[in-house]
Chain A
Amino acid sequence: MFLRRALPYVLSLPALLVCIGILVPFFTAAYYSLQRYNLAMPGSREFVWFGQYLDLLSDPDFWVTVRVSATYAITTVGLELLLGLGIALLLHERTRFNNIVSIALLLPLMTAPAIASLMWKLMTNPNFGVLSWLIAQVGIHDFRWASAPGSAMFTVVLVDIWVYTPFMMVLLLAGLRSLPPQPFEAARLDGVAPHFVFFRITLPMLAPYIVTATLFRLLDSIQQFDIVYAMTQGGPGDSLMLFQVRAYLDFFQYTNVGTSAALMVVLWAITYLLSHVFIKQWLRLRERTHGNS
């Protein structure tokens, strides 16, 4: 009897230990964020409570990071949603050709984002990059892609779209194909116009999938690091200083543990709120698809 009670705890104990292993550094980071703590100046380490957070609020660099991160997340996720939905609609029918296309589109998603950045870096090289050459053919000369402040955001957003649009596509396509066929047949028999079917039947029925996929991507995109770090390390200037990129540089370049930790706790708070909404939505969808199968 005792063994039977203890069994689930015994089975999940190792996973619990890993959880604790993650929670310890998490609380350490929160603790660091309340201190003025620079590795280069151990003597001046002191506890300042929420002083660092107040400093952040009056620091223009912090607001640059907020603006750049928001721009990045909203642009990438918005464009990926539109493109992903469009492609999913094109591939809706289950034909052999469509299946091959949808599998081929998975390849960018399976490429490591940091490596994807390298690939685009080679293609946008000013001396021999095929994309630089191509846009020169259509009359745009001296477009400097990621190395000019004006076009750096455009370039990394392009790489993000290349990597993650397939994610939206796959999820929405699975959603589309799981919709019950009856409403669509009824609409066809009644001769309802296609755009009407799309806005009044497809879109509302697909909404839970759209919301889940968008929140999922938003959570990842606001924390983007790999693509931007591999492309420009946050430069030129601070045009691509996303949250995690700035925290990384604060920590390793300026050895400023305190500020870096405070910045990460702020990002964590944002993602925590978002993930709270997300997990609710995700559980509802999970319940539904598992109930059906």
Chain B
Amino acid sequence: MAIAKILRALALSLVLAFFLFPIVWILLMSFQTNEEILRLPPSTFFRPTLGNYIALISGHLETAAGELDITFLHNLWNSILLSTSSVALALLLGVPAAYAFARFRFRLGEDIAFTMLSFRFAPPLLVLLPLSLYFQDLGLNDTYLGLIWVYQLICLPLILWIVRGYFEDASPDIEYAYRIDGHSWWRAFTRIAVPLAGPGIAAAGLLSFIFAWNNFVFALILASADKQPVTVGALAFVTASGIQYGQIAAAIVLSILPTLALALYAQRWLVEGLSLGAVKG
């Protein structure tokens, strides 16, 4: 039995090492100067510097080739703007629809719900390539509005299916009793149904924020440099000349920090969200 315990501990340590090492390593790298990064064997003991972060935040980079302007902070702002507004819009569109699907049996409802679900699994480029041509005609090319609309592809199915499950789990009897008291349908929805499904709505909102933040391909195709979120911006960063490795590492840390923090905060609901509500955590 003791051997089994040791083996289990050993296996878990290996698992933890594999999955956490890259994050820890990049974090360490972001506090190193270029000389320290290039030194072999790699140094785990070094004097940490905030230089990389300061360069990113100030947006000015002193290089051998001269001064270089970087817009990483702007990418970060784009990520915040795009993710927040997409989730807000998806909640506005999705919560009433989820309620309708849960409370009323109607043909159109199932059709919409399944179309959204099947598009969750369709190749994004199938929709994105024609859209990139359409957007030019519609004047939506390279606008936040166009991107937020396309981001509904990620956020809306998630919100529809998770929140629908919560509405279905809550008994409609309380709403009926409230209606019999003479309150309007709208009040029953906002005062009873939505608060009861509150945790589900919050979970779905947080998760769609994470997925919107992590999305790469939509903005890669539809946005120019000044509308790009961090995922696309960081990639452009790597290929730009004159950028130092420590600064790339710092940019990576700043890009993943918000989602990792949110994930830790929302971990209770993560299982449900990841499986679109099929498995309860």
Binding site for B on A (CB under 8 A): 7-9, 11-12, 14-16, 18-19, 21-26, 28-29, 32, 86-87, 90-91, 101, 103-116, 118-123, 125, 127-128, 130, 133, 162, 165-167, 170-171, 174-175, 178, 209, 212-213, 216, 219, 223, 225-226, 229-230, 243-244, 247-248, 251-252, 257, 260-261, 264-265, 267-268, 271-272, 274-275, 278-279, 282, 285-286, 289-290, 293
Contact = CB atoms under 8 A, between A and B. Distances in A.
Contact of B109 (A12, A104, A108, A247): A12
Contacts of B23: 107-108, 111, 119
B19 A8 contact: no
Nearest to A251: B129
Interface string B114-139: 11111101111111111101100000
Chain B contact residues: over half helix, strand or loop, or mixed?
helix
A104 B127 contact: no
Contacts of A101: 12, 15-16
Nearest to A15: B97
Majority SS at the chain A contact face: helix
A268 B122 contact: yes
Interface in B260-281: 260, 262-264, 267, 270-271, 274-281
A110 B210 contact: yes
A21 B131 CA distance: 10
Given A11-B97, A26-B126, A128-B245, A286 B277 contact: yes
A22 B216 contact: no
A212 B274 CA distance: 12
B42 interface: yes
Q: Interface size bucket, B side?
A: 35 or more
In the A-B complex, the 10 residue pairs with the smallest Cβ-Cβ separation, listed nearest first, are A112-B214, A11-B100, A8-B104, A15-B97, A110-B263, A114-B216, A28-B130, A25-B130, A8-B100, A275-B121
Nearest to A173: B271
A11 B99 contact: yes
A162 B18 CA distance: 8
A19 B116 contact: yes
Interface stretch (B33-41, B48-56, B57-65, B66-74): B33-41
B144 to A, nearest CB: 17
B260 A25 contact: no
Given A90-B11, A119-B252, A104 B271 contact: no
B112 A8 contact: no
A3 to B, nearest CB: 8
Most B Cβ at <10 Å: residue of A22, A225, A274, A279: A22
A25 B40 contact: no
Interface of B: 8, 11-12, 15-16, 18-20, 22-23, 25-26, 29, 37-42, 92-94, 96-97, 99-101, 103-104, 106, 108-109, 112, 114-119, 121-131, 133-134, 149, 152-153, 156, 160, 165, 168-169, 185, 210, 213-217, 220-221, 230-232, 234-235, 238, 245, 248-249, 252, 255-256, 259-260, 262-264, 267, 270-271, 274-281
B93 A14 contact: yes
Contact of A29 (B38, B115, B126, B149): B126
B25 A107 contact: no
Given A12-B97, A12-B109, A267-B123, A113 B117 contact: no
Contact of B8 (A9, A90, A290): A90
Interface centre among B101, B122, B128, B215 (most CB of A within 10 A): B122
Given A12-B97, A15-B97, A115-B256, 18 more contacts: A14-B92, A15-B112, A15-B116, A16-B108, A28-B134, A109-B263, A115-B214, A115-B231, A122-B29, A122-B248, A128-B40, A226-B217, A274-B121, A282-B275, A285-B279, A289-B279, A290-B169, A293-B169
Contacts of A7: 100, 104, 185
Nearest to B217: A225
